[in-house]
Amino acid sequence: MASVEESAAAVGWPGSSIRVGSLSMRSEGVTLINAFEVPPEADEPFVASWGRARDFLAAREGFSATALHRALRPDAEFRFVNVARVDSPAAWRQAIDDPAFPGGEMPFTAHPGLYEVVHEDGNPDGREGVVLINAFEVRIDDDEGFLAGWRRAREMLAEQSGYLGTRLHRSVGPADFRFVNIARWSSPLAFTKAVQQPGFQEAAAAMSFASHPALYQVIRD
pLDDT per residue over 173-210, tens digit each? 999 999 999 999 999 999 999 999 999 999 999 999 99
C-beta of residue 157 within 8 angstroms of C-beta of residue 194: yes
pLDDT for 64: 81
pLDDT for 126: 80
Residue 221: pLDDT band by 50, 70, 90 thresholds? Answer: confident
pLDDT for 105: 78
- In this structure, the number of other CB atoms found within 10 A of the CB of residue 219 comes to 15
Domain edges within the chain: 4-8+17-220
Topology of domain 4-8+17-220 in CATH is Alpha-Beta Plaits (3.30.70)
pLDDT for 111: 97
Average the pLDDT over 62-66 and give the result.
87
Mean pLDDT lowest among 29-38, 39-48, 104-113: 104-113
